[in-house]
Amino acid sequence: MSDDARQVLESALQLHVDDRAKIAAELLASLEEREEDVAEAWAAEIKRRAAAAVTDPDDEDDWRAAFDEVRTSVLSR
């Protein structure tokens, strides 16, 4: 955890329990948005690969390379 994050955490822990709960809910919701981005990116990648397989069935990409491309794309948002 970065120093900035640690300072935010320490400050947040001083808040009233209701405020902490609201902050926690917002943070969790932000993680769910990231999961949705990942799901959307995978869906797009699957469609792209399916179309490529139909047009050129002899072309083979390593799945690890495709996974890295999707992960890099999603994490750069």
The answer to whether 74 and 46 are in contact (CB under 8 A) is no
pLDDT: is 66 or 12 the higher one?
12
What pLDDT is attached to residue 45? 87
Residue located via tokens 């959307």? 40
Average pLDDT (5-19) is 92
**Residue 33 structural domain:** 3-75
Instruction: Please count the structural domains in the chain.
Output: 1
17-71: pLDDT as tens digits: 889 999 998 888 888 767 777 788 888 888 888 888 778 777 666 778 888 888 8
The answer, yes or no, to whether residue 75 has pLDDT greater than 90, is: no
Is residue 35 classed exposed, middle or buried when 0-12, 13-18 and 19+ CB atoms within 10 A define those classes? Answer: exposed
Tell me the pTM: 0.44
Distance CA 29, CA 23 (A): 10
Using N-to-C axis directions, what is the helix angle for 17-55 and 63-75, rounded to 10°? Answer: 140
